[in-house]
Structure 1
Amino acid sequence: MTPPIHIFRSIIYIILLVSLTMATAAAGDGNTVPLSRGQVVYAPVYSHIYIGDRERPFLLAVTLSIRNTDPDDAIVVTKVSYFNSEGTRLEEYLKQPVTLEKMSATRFVVHESDKTGGSGASFLVEWETVKSVSPPIIETVMIGAQTQQGISFTSRGQVIKEK
Structure 2
Amino acid sequence: MPLSSEQFDRLANGFPGLGRDPASVRRRIEAMEALLEKLFVVPGIRRPIGLDAILGLVPVVGDIATTALGAWILWEARNLGMSKLQLTRMAGNVGVDAVLGAVPLVGDLFDFAFRSNSRNLKIIRRHLDRHHPETATIEGSFSRRARF
TM-score by length of 1: 0.29
The structure in which a higher percent of residues are strand is 1
The structure in which a higher percent of residues are helix is 2
Larger CA Rg, structure 1 vs 2: 1
- Larger relative contact order (CA 8 Å, sep ≥ 6): 1
TM-score by length of 2: 0.31
